[in-house]
A and B are shown apart, each in its own frame.
Chain A
């Protein structure tokens, strides 16, 4: 079943489009990673896909409905978003932050219902954040904070989950941990997951599809085995790499070829 269908999407800010002519679709339960250089339009794309940008044209269908005809509350019941950075001005506690994920399902006066509490307990379990409940968000480590942000997105109880560079600023240990959580969500809960990612080797083993962006356009997309080639990486990232097979996953993996220094 097609859950997200994007046709000729162009989007950007006040001074013009950053991404142009983006068309692709996602099946329910798919895991897609968007890769590309800095400034290639990854973040712009992930924002445009959930109606956060005003300067847009083209068409986006979510579960068969026109995204641009939905209000923020309706969109928030279909798509949950884990942004790259989030406000830390005020010292909210972890439980307060996670409760915010239920906003779209609640009335303005209403408090937390039994359904809300059930879902919140479940997502804290999934993300292993229950023990952090009373802590202030600013006092957490990068990995813990990212898990809390994922918990809040999960509390939205949506079929689609978007994450903007979920592994940035995290140690290797936490990078793997976050992706393990995502994989579990996709496999057990049937979530459709879309991430942007810098680290190609991290995206490969978890993604069904990779999409390469170059200067705001789709360079190509497909399964990792097809996308990870020496020429593609050279074209998209302007980097010389060697491709080899990861002995554990049997999937392609890149290694950088160091350029000889000036002295040698």
Chain B
């Protein structure tokens, strides 16, 4: 099959799942609503203030946030896999997510709740500590311009574990709430509202446009630094840009919904299997697939043990961790 038609089929499939996922997200919840309520509300303006709050402020914002976070984390993963020339990288594996989560929690417990033009100090902290971790991993895993997979994975996991331990320490030291710990370490959209969307959306849009703009450069980078430069790519400038992009994406997500692991690892993989490694398409389709995947994961998190909510990180880990092990076993 021609790559073009493969992409068209995937796009149609994803758009269908996207619409269906949002529809289900709007209908599903503790308060019973059916299609009639929904259509009446959307097309005829029927229903009271309560219905509006439930549909728009609770369910729609939540689905939208899940979509944006899924898209951000998957795009971050696609960038990191190219960056490290390794299909096993991802924001969680490399330790960025855990680092960002530590930064966000630290900011909360210092009580510095300042935000300016949608730019909160919390996401700034998340970004700084996420960046710190990825930079550390970068320094430790690079030997003469070559990334050793083993060192990359081990330092990423160790640095991530350390950051998670610090996060847990902060939470148990200063807080009485067990739910807080679960939120930051396993992720949740329970607290989703429009404020969170405005905290994620600008980062995603900017990073997505820049990544798409530089997608050809990423295609060259994964051929190796020397080859890339010989073909005309300004390698060191590109590397810096991509590292900042992937960290921004992961940190902005983590700062609103905690750590949601493995999605950034598996989604670019699925997409690569379906449409090939060309980053001009990979970035777009990873974002879309990741968004849709997280909308369904959140649906499952809400309904699986209803009325109790599962932390969404459990679901993504249940899908992602076995896949990660499978990838490890495939390595020769």
Q: Which of A13, A80, A90 contacts B87 (CB 8 A)?
A: A90
Is A71 on the interface with B (CB-CB < 8 A)?
A: yes
23 cross-chain CB contacts under 8 A: A13-B144, A72-B235, A76-B230, A81-B226, A83-B224, A85-B224, A86-B223, A87-B85, A87-B227, A89-B85, A91-B272, A91-B276, A91-B277, A96-B276, A100-B219, A100-B231, A101-B231, A103-B220, A103-B232, A108-B214, A108-B217, A156-B231, A156-B232
Using known A-B contacts A90-B222, A93-B276, determine if residue A72 contacts B227 with beta carbons closer than 8 Å: no
- State the 5 A-B residue pairs at the shortest beta-carbon distance, nearest first: A76-B232, A104-B232, A90-B277, A81-B230, A73-B232
Min C-beta distance of B149 to chain A, whole Å: 10
In the assembled complex, the Cα of A241 lies from the Cα of B223 at a distance in Å of: 40
Using known A-B contacts A89-B86, A89-B222, A90-B272, determine if residue A83 contacts B230 with beta carbons closer than 8 Å: yes
Residues of A within 8 A of B220 (CB): 100, 103
Is B216 on the interface with A (CB-CB < 8 A)?
A: yes
Residues of A within 8 A of B231 (CB): 76, 100-101, 103-104, 152, 156
Residues of B within 8 A of A83 (CB): 224, 226-227, 230
Is B180 on the interface with A (CB-CB < 8 A)?
A: no
Closest chain B residue to A71 by CB distance? B234
The main secondary structure of chain B at its interface with chain A is loop
Min C-beta distance of B85 to chain A, whole Å: 5
In the assembled complex, the Cα of A156 lies from the Cα of B226 at a distance in Å of: 15
**Contact between B223 and A100 (Cβ–Cβ < 8 Å)?**
yes
Residues of B within 8 A of A219 (CB): none
Using known A-B contacts A83-B226, A156-B231, determine if residue A92 contacts B216 with beta carbons closer than 8 Å: no
The contact size tier of chain B is 20 to 34
Is A77 on the interface with B (CB-CB < 8 A)?
A: yes
**Contact between A103 and B233 (Cβ–Cβ < 8 Å)?**
yes
Is A75 on the interface with B (CB-CB < 8 A)?
A: yes
In the assembled complex, the Cα of A157 lies from the Cα of B166 at a distance in Å of: 55
In the assembled complex, the Cα of A47 lies from the Cα of B272 at a distance in Å of: 32
Measured CB to CB, the residues of B under 8 A from A are 85-87, 144, 213-214, 216-217, 219-220, 222-224, 226-227, 229-235, 272, 276-278
Min C-beta distance of B267 to chain A, whole Å: 15
**Contact between A89 and B87 (Cβ–Cβ < 8 Å)?**
yes
Q: Which of A71, A81, A104 contacts B227 (CB 8 A)?
A: A81
In the assembled complex, the Cα of A156 lies from the Cα of B227 at a distance in Å of: 13
In the assembled complex, the Cα of A52 lies from the Cα of B217 at a distance in Å of: 17
Residues of B within 8 A of A87 (CB): 85, 222-224, 227
Residues of B within 8 A of A77 (CB): 232
In the assembled complex, the Cα of A109 lies from the Cα of B233 at a distance in Å of: 14
Q: Which of A77, A86, A90, A103 has the most CB of B within 10 A?
A: A90
Residues of B within 8 A of A73 (CB): 232, 234
Is A50 on the interface with B (CB-CB < 8 A)?
A: yes
**Contact between B232 and A75 (Cβ–Cβ < 8 Å)?**
yes
Starting from the known contacts A72-B229, A83-B227, 9 additional A-B residue pairs (CB-CB under 8 Å) come to: A81-B230, A86-B227, A89-B222, A92-B219, A96-B219, A96-B277, A101-B231, A103-B220, A156-B231
